[in-house]
């Protein structure tokens, strides 16, 4: 009977230790994931894809390089009153997603400009050959 009571006591103690120490860690993970998701959504909403498409068209490879070098930063008003873990996750996700959007749009602009330029070049050569 004494062994059964001690086993029950040890089992209860293990469960309590788990609850006491694991709950804050799990809660912190939830906050980090919330910050990451909010950062990704904000970046997709705030980055002007049309501008980066134009930079890629006008600048070519230089525009693409600018898109890789330029590091966007999130608005600090979205982070007021948030925990440091949330702020770090939000900022990292924002920067990563914004850079992905701006580089993708710059590459698209660069490729579109190159294809249009090549098509116009071929048409100019064809026009010159037909007049000769």
Which pLDDT score, from 0 to 100, does residue 44 have? 94
Using one digit for the tens of pLDDT, what is the confidence trace for 61-82? 999 999 999 999 898 888 888 8
User: Percentage of residues in the chain with pLDDT exceeding 70?
Assistant: 77
Domain count, the chain: 1
Cα angle 88-94-99, degrees, rounded to a multiple of 5: 130
- Domain range for 83 is 2-131
pTM: 0.72
Alpha helices in 48-83 (DSSP H): 49-59, 61-69
Q: Is the pLDDT of residue 2 over 90?
A: no
């Amino acid at each position: 009977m004494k062994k059964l009571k001690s086993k029950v006591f040890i089992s209860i103690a293990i469960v309590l230790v788990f609850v006491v120490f694991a709950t804050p860690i799990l809660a912190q993970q939830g906050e980090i994931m919330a910050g990451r998701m909010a950062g990704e959504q904000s970046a997709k909403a705030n980055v002007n894809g049309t501008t980066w498409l134009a930079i890629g068209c006008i600048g070519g490879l230089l525009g693409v390089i600018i898109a890789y070098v330029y590091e966007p930063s999130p608005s600090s008003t979205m982070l007021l009153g948030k925990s440091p873990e949330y702020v770090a996750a939000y900022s990292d996700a924002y920067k990563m997603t914004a850079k992905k959007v701006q580089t993708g749009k710059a590459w698209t602009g660069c490729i579109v400009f190159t294809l249009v330029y090549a098509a116009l070049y071929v048409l100019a050569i064809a026009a010159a050959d037909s007049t000769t």
